[in-house]
Amino acid sequence: MNKLKLCDSELNSCLKKLFLEKPHPLIEGNLVNCKNAVLMSLSPVKIKIFTNFPNEIDKNYKTYLIDNIIRTFHILDTKLNLIFASCNITRFEIADSIHNEFGLPKKDCIEFVSDIIDIIIEGLQKSGKVKIHNFGTFIVRAKKSRLGRNPKTKEEVMIAERKVISFKASKNVLKYLNSFDAKE
């Protein structure tokens, strides 16, 4: 059995190409987009595809994707599963990815992810800024009060001043994201 080597960037390039060459039939008049894909495990091969209509992907289209991924990456001796998910990633999905990648107990992985999120929140509360090297920076910003409008009633409403969190991606993350657009 050949040792399968498959990285997320190659997988994403392949899927974006497949979605462009043969688009999924429209759902409710909307184009189905492949936002991102992540390799969840190698044995069996599990790939999670983030899309705008995860529960409505056509069975024939799934077969088309599986056949082309098998052909492209020479997946011969193992089963291939595609899991479609919405574009929001939960802390449990992140923990599940860590569990699949490193084999740690799921309970520990969930606690690990929750601890990281808690550390980020605490850092924002204390200093107003959290920088994660090669990922990006979370910054607390103050918004002034302003006059807004209720979209249903068209009534003008004063929106109170509040704090918001903004995120600025690192140059490496932006370079990685833009590398997909350059290949299309």
DSSP secondary structure string for all residues of 118-167: HHHHHHHHHHSEEEETTTEEEEEEEE--EEEE-TTT--EEEEPPEEEEEE
Domain with CATH 4.10.520.10 in the chain: 128-183
Domain with CATH 3.30.300.20 in the chain: 8-89
Q: Which amino acid is present at 180?
A: F
> For domain 128-183, which CATH number applies: 3.40.50.720, 4.10.520.10, 3.40.50.2000, 1.10.260.40?
4.10.520.10
Q: Does domain 8-89 have CATH number 3.40.50.300?
A: no
At 182 the pLDDT is 47
Residue 163 tokens, joined: 């704090």
Residue 27 tokens, joined: 């759902």
Q: What is the pTM of this model?
A: 0.57
At 163 the pLDDT is 96
Reported as a single tens digit per residue, the pLDDT across 101-149 is 788 998 999 999 999 999 999 999 999 999 999 999 999 999 999 999 9
Contacts of 121 (CB under 8 A, 6+ apart): none
- Residue 72 dihedral angles phi and psi, to the nearest 5°: -65, -45
